[in-house]
Chain A
Amino acid sequence: MNDFEKRLAEIPLNPAPAGWREAILAAAEKETPRARATIFPWRPVAWGALAACWVLIGFFNFSGPGRGEIHSLAIAPGRTPTAPQMAEYFERHRLLLRWPAATETIFQIDRSKI
């Protein structure tokens, strides 16, 4: 190392600004595994309750008809009506067809008598 290099090497470097030590170490402390564990601490009752909730949700989810079953029920044709049901249906239909004629006779009133 010559004189010029020695002269350069003698220049002291600026020390770290005050407050950096605490700030840097505090930031690092948050990253330690122990500090991270405190975000979700081990509390058996709380974690057990959460697990029970998920079990219940799962139970209700799988106990009813599945999504495919609901869809097939929605698009499936209804049950074939029985003979008495068909007869009742046709009777109602026949009555409905006769309804306009009946109303006409009701409302054809002889106004001269009023």
Chain B
Amino acid sequence: MSADLAAIYDAYGGALIAFARNLTRSDADARDVTQEIFCRLARNPVLLAEARSPRAFLLTMAYRLAVDLHRRRAVRERHAAGPVEVFAPPAHPDETHFRQAVAVAMSELPEEQRAVIHLKLWEALTFEEIAAVLDLSAHTAASRYRYGIDKLRSLLRPVYEEIL
């Protein structure tokens, strides 16, 4: 096993899988996306060395592969995706309910809004960084985030107000 690839996996694998899982809403697809990233890195070891920000570069790869997968699935009758555990299971039952509600609400967002929200909330990227990852303008990234958060807030209002 290549030590370099293992080190890259340990540093970024979790983030890539979580991002791919949130985008594809499928464990199998998230694994395919992550595996393809590492196969490409193995075929071309200098790929990551040329990247200015390895994390942003890998997230870009994950996004593009997930979008490609989504398009291919759409062409050949996308089969119903099973439930996917995007968030870690909590100890408190109230929190379980809230996390499940968030997961369902996230799945109702368009893919492009979901991608921006994931990168902003769970990767803590700025809009400029998100724009670079998703190959769009910072303004578009910000507006997608705003629309997505508004929709999440309206979907989660009953649950969110209940736990406050």
Contacts and interface: CB of A to CB of B under 8 A. Distances in A.
Interface of A: 4-5, 7-9, 11-17, 20-21, 23-33
A12 B122 CA distance: 8
A12 B1 contact: no
A9 B149 contact: no
B97 to A, nearest CB: 12
A27 B35 contact: yes
Main secondary structure of the interface of A (DSSP, over half): helix
B9 interface: yes
A27 B38 contact: yes
Contact of B14 (A11, A16, A26): A16
Given A14-B85, A25-B5, 8 more contacts: A9-B122, A11-B87, A14-B18, A21-B6, A24-B9, A25-B9, A28-B39, A32-B42
Contacts of B99: 11
B34 interface: yes
